[in-house]
Amino acid sequence: MAELPPRPEQALDPSDPMARSAQTFPRLSDEMAARVRRYGTEQQVSAGTELFERGQRGLDFLFVLEGRVEVFHRQRDGSRDVVTTHGRYQFSGELDMFNNRQVRMSGWAPVPTRVLRVPRADFRRLVSSEPDIGEIIMRAFILRRVGLIRHFNDGLVLIGPAHSADTLRLQRFLIRNGYPHRLLDTELDPAASGFLECFELSADQLPVVVLADDTLLRNPSSRELADGLGLTEVLDPAKVYDVAVIGGGPAGLASAVYAASEGLATIVVESTAPGGQAGTSSKIENYLGFPTGISGQALAGRAQVQAQKFGAQLMVSRAAAAIDCSATPYRVRLDDEQVVTARAIVVATGARYRKLSVEDYGRFEGAGVHYAATAMEGQLCGGEEVVVVGGGNSAGQAAVFLSRIADHVHMMVRSGGLAATMSDYLVQRIVQSPKITLYTHSEICRLEGPDRLRQVSWTQRGTGEVITRLIGNVFVMIGAEPNTDWLQGCVELDDKGFVVTGKAALGTVPSAYLTSRPGIFAVGDVRSGSVKRVASGVGEGSVVIQAVHQFLAPPAGA
């Protein structure tokens, strides 16, 4: 296989996990080690013993008592590329210890070593029962994942033109699911030609994903990519969950955290990646407790880890296709034909992006038309003019973020201004920015380009003037439509397709989140009349679990 050129050297900054070894690879005290011993079984291994291997699932937690454990990537020639070494009173693992996905590294004992082997169930008990130790482990696992993403491509290479809709789709999936990878842009990177020759690929077969074992995925769907990476978990068809949360945005993740932490057997089904639409926000600055702001992806990542820490199971790259409401427990059929069975359902499927009514619009989706403005999309806009369409907070956040990267941001709304639909702090930044021009009473009328978007025209309705600019990236943020097709015939929907809640009573107590069907609740953007804000979605997702408990509780006197 063609060899990748080395990554450019990066100086370690104070926020880099590799510069914080005491937290990333902590060593527990004698007193803590004594407590950890209560949860596992000691095992003596000889030098050269492999303790775990890349691709395995459900690994035990390994705590080193004597000797050392080396964690490594196995190179294509069979040699070991050591990532780190755990010594006395240190431990193995990272965030995949909280799920059943395939692990990404291997580990062995290069010298005679004694380890404490803690099975998965006992590891969860350790984290929850010993909160000070659990905090150290959780922080270390998070930092290790960040370090992996920053410094290791994990052997995974995405090859294709960076501006291609499918390349962007695959890259977006990898980034949002926190999977380390390397992008080779066939339009700019000279190393890409070696890969194309090695695998006998032509340009019309791109993009491709090369896995660590040289398996080639030709323009895979998100589901095929997730399966190839071992991100997908197989359901036990006989298992009945207490609650199934359908949708992994802020509302769904909040529901999962509170349900799992309160002892309910919980599963989350998410079609793309944790975070929903909020996960694509470059920075959320008015979310309580984050005075300097936080990206939607970072917020979603923390919530995902939190839910899994308490035992929630997460299914990514799977979407609900239909629900059988004829009997309880309810059965939700996924788009891969697997079935989730649960006694209660929390609908948190949010909404899908609304599109512009412009000729050839579909041809440019992903090839110049975007619905998110993150660092990934920002890389395509350096030194260029861009257009942002929309007057809500998402559009405002995108315009401010892109103004730091793009040469100029043209922002357009069909109304007469922003004050009625956008938070004032964003309005003020847009008005004051010399790099953002606001066009009111305006709308895009034409998109042009032979292969991807190259030129945009818009009309100013007051004067009839048509403005045309050489622009290759348009960010469309004009609201959304509910993802409720899978619920048809099961619960009441309003005339726009949002789920109607609050009309039925839960026992003798009405619930604002109960649908027309007992045991099925709706929270967040998918709910009719909800406030379309991250904070409100999180609030609804946390509060609904009280009603779920009430529904699941046995009748009085039973």
Consecutive H or E run containing 475 = strand 474-476
Paired tokens of 245: 């949360």
Q: Which fold has domain 157-229?
A: Glutaredoxin (3.40.30)
State the pairing for strand pair 339-347/240-246.
parallel
Q: Rounded distance, CA 287 to CA 302, Å?
A: 14
DSSP character at residue 196: H
Q: Per residue in 82-107, pLDDT tens? A: 989 999 999 999 998 998 888 888 99
The pLDDT value recorded for residue 2 is 46
Paired tokens of 31: 């007193």
Check residue 445 and give left, alpha or beta (phi > 0: left; psi -120 to 50: alpha): alpha
Buried b (16+ CB within 10 A) or exposed e, 131-154: eebbebbbebbbbbbbbbbeebbb
Q: Rounded distance, CA 249 to CA 270, Å?
A: 8
Paired tokens of 291: 């005075």
**Positions of the chain with pLDDT under 50:** 1-6, 8-11
The pLDDT value recorded for residue 1 is 43
The pLDDT value recorded for residue 13 is 59
The pLDDT value recorded for residue 261 is 95
Consecutive H or E run containing 195 = helix 192-198
| Secondary structure class of 85 (helix, strand, coil) | strand
The CATH class of the 361-476 domain is alpha beta
Q: Are 384 and 453 in contact (CB under 8 A)?
A: no
Asked, colleague to colleague, whether 17-127 and 361-476 share their fold, the answer is no
Q: Are 395 and 452 in contact (CB under 8 A)?
A: no
- CATH, domain 240-352+515-552, list 3.40.50.300, 3.30.479.30, 3.30.420.40, 3.50.50.60: 3.50.50.60
Q: Rounded distance, CA 218 to CA 379, Å?
A: 24
Domain ranges of the chain: 17-127, 157-229, 240-352+515-552, 361-476
The pLDDT value recorded for residue 530 is 87
Would you give the end-to-end CA distance of the chain in angstroms?
66
Paired tokens of 123: 């590891």
Check residue 16 and give left, alpha or beta (phi > 0: left; psi -120 to 50: alpha): beta
Q: DSSP string of 274-326?
A: TTGGGGG-S-B-SSTT-TT-B-HHHHHHHHHHHHHHTT-EEEES--EEEEE-S
Tell the CATH superfamily of the 17-127 domain.
Answer: Jelly Rolls (2.60.120.10)
